Amino acid sequence: MNLLDQSLCDLVLQLNQGATTSVAVTQALIDRAQAVQPQLNCFVRVDAQAALQAAEKADAHRRALQAASKPLPPLLGVPLAHKDMFARQGRASGCGGVIAQDAIPSETAVVLQKLDAAGAFEFGALHMAEFAYGNTGHNAHLGACRNPWNTQHITGGSSSGSAASVAARANFAALGSDTGGSVRHPASFCGTVGIKTSMGAISTRGAMPLSDSLDTIGFLTRSVQDAALLFATTQTFTPTWVWQPRTDLQGLRIGVADNYGHGACSGPAAALMQQSLDVLQSLGARLVPITVPYSQEIFAASMTVLQAEATAHHLPWMQSRPQDYSPQVFKRLQAGLDVPAHAYVRAKQFQSAALDAWMRQVFSECDVLHAPVVTIATPTIAEADMGGSDTMLALVAGMGRWTRPINYLGLPALSLPAGLLHGLPFGLQLVAPMMREALLFGVGSAYEKAAGFAKVD
């Protein structure tokens, strides 16, 4: 197997067994990143010299620990590149624009601290939508990130470079953020695994804020097991569970809601959704028809919260540096100025009632909810490039129809490839009650093994 084709978990095993070295892996990633960058535009920076020095130290540290028969950190010597929005002390993050480049953080993001403690190190930074406020992969400052399956098509966003680099085998896994679908959209469009974690499961301290009520940290990975490893390494609380891959789903109830995504799918998209349900049934799961409560109301409330909180974060820059925003992002931020205070307060007050309704009416009937990430084929870059027009706002909102409510409710969701739609990946998402990531990983691992995932050349 090609060194860069293996999963993150397989890479860790290879490193610990001495089958390869961190230096060799890092050099291979640097070479691959430099090779794909002209076509994909998924990196904003590759730190070759610093990464190779870190790799040499990791290899020496591993040898010393093994000689002393001491345990190895779970990610020792693993090079990773991440979405360019996580603070590293003394180093600016671009956050997909130009304004944030002037700010030098005094501390490192908590999630990076945990990855550092696990032995991983960074070899570069990845493309993202400007201030994570876009779900297509366009960026007026950096240029569009391109889909490895077909470079004329979008990657999705805002974690565009994270998905593209992992799919293109230029990265083993990457941090992303998900405020309304920013991990799940690019995972779906690029054919990777994507985990949107529960609210509070992973600390957002040191990550660029967009909406304090909706922001979550997630990962783009090559396998469910890789996502589980990274989650276990970085979660806020000491895990009280030991994740185990599942081979069957006997007794599991899968909720299918016509008013939550399935009814909006048609033609080949509907066929792919049904195909994924057939796989789950073949593993022993039982499909349960349900009706999701407050579907429209939750989506509307999530948009109100996002617009108000994003604009509150950006208002000082909007007033002092409006020319440094792209028209698309500035238009979206301006929309937040029109959100009345009473509407924002009501949207916040509705969160607990909406979550309670889901727990009573959804998760009393099923263990996991099944839904599409989006219901459309992957648009081309040209089709989705509409500047700051009202049509753009409608497209952005429509793409988030089945992802934004999950952020509003604070629930975890796992995006998995469901096949190819018109030659490009198409994804499903599994949603579970809060802090039940282990359940999602178990179900996802069984589905992954049974369904098999296609790979970009």
Closest Cα to residue 441, out of 237, 197, 235, 199? 197
Say what percent of the chain tops pLDDT 90: 91
Please report the pLDDT score of residue 243 as a whole number. Answer: 72
Cβ neighbours around 279 below 10 Å, total: 19
242 confidence band (pLDDT: 50, 70, 90): low
Please report the pLDDT score of residue 457 as a whole number. Answer: 60
Position 98 in a domain: yes
Please report the pLDDT score of residue 301 as a whole number. Answer: 98
Least confident of 49-53, 242-246, 421-425: 242-246
Please report the pLDDT score of residue 397 as a whole number. Answer: 65
Position 322 in a domain: no
453 confidence band (pLDDT: 50, 70, 90): confident
Average pLDDT over residues 154-165: 98
Position 175 in a domain: yes
Please report the pLDDT score of residue 360 as a whole number. Answer: 98
Please report the pLDDT score of residue 385 as a whole number. Answer: 81
Say what percent of the chain tops pLDDT 70: 96
- Give the model confidence (pLDDT) of 161-217 as tens digits: 999 999 999 999 999 999 999 999 999 999 999 999 999 999 999 999 999 999 999
Please report the pLDDT score of residue 388 as a whole number. Answer: 54
Average pLDDT over residues 341-345: 98
Q: Is the pLDDT of residue 404 over 90?
A: yes
Position 370 in a domain: yes
Task: Identify the burial level of 61 via C-beta atoms within 10 angstroms of its C-beta, where 0-12 means exposed, 13-18 middle and 19 or more buried.
Answer: middle
The rounded mean pLDDT for the chain is 95
Residue keyed to tokens 């190895």: 72
Please report the pLDDT score of residue 241 as a whole number. Answer: 61
CB 454 within 8 A of CB 427: no
Q: Which residue did the predictor score with more confidence, 206 or 456?
A: 206
248 confidence band (pLDDT: 50, 70, 90): very high
Please report the pLDDT score of residue 105 as a whole number. Answer: 95
Please report the pLDDT score of residue 384 as a whole number. Answer: 87
- Give the model confidence (pLDDT) of 262-320 as tens digits: 999 999 999 999 999 999 999 999 999 999 999 999 999 999 999 999 999 999 999 99
The whole domain housing 142 covers: 79-293+356-451
Position 220 in a domain: yes
> Cα(297)–Cα(292) distance, rounded to whole angstroms?
11
Please report the pLDDT score of residue 190 as a whole number. Answer: 98
Position 347 in a domain: no
392 confidence band (pLDDT: 50, 70, 90): low
The total domain count for the chain is 1
Q: Which residue did the predictor score with more confidence, 454 or 354?
A: 354
Kindly report the pTM of this predicted structure.
0.96
Position 350 in a domain: no
Position 380 in a domain: yes
> Cα(123)–Cα(232) distance, rounded to whole angstroms?
22
Parallel/antiparallel/unpaired status of strands 413-421 and 79-83: unpaired
Q: Is the pLDDT of residue 403 over 60?
A: yes
Q: Is the pLDDT of residue 103 over 90?
A: no
Q: Is the pLDDT of residue 387 over 70?
A: no
Average pLDDT over residues 249-263: 97
DSSP state of 368: E
Task: Identify the burial level of 250 via C-beta atoms within 10 angstroms of its C-beta, where 0-12 means exposed, 13-18 middle and 19 or more buried.
Answer: exposed
Q: Is the pLDDT of residue 24 over 80?
A: yes
What is the DSSP track for 402-431?
A: TTHHHHHHT--EEEEEEEEETTEEEEEEEE
Q: Is the pLDDT of residue 339 over 90?
A: yes
Which CATH number does the domain housing residue 92 bear? 3.90.1300.10
367 φ, ψ to 5°? -90, -35
CB 414 within 8 A of CB 430: yes
Length of the chain: 457
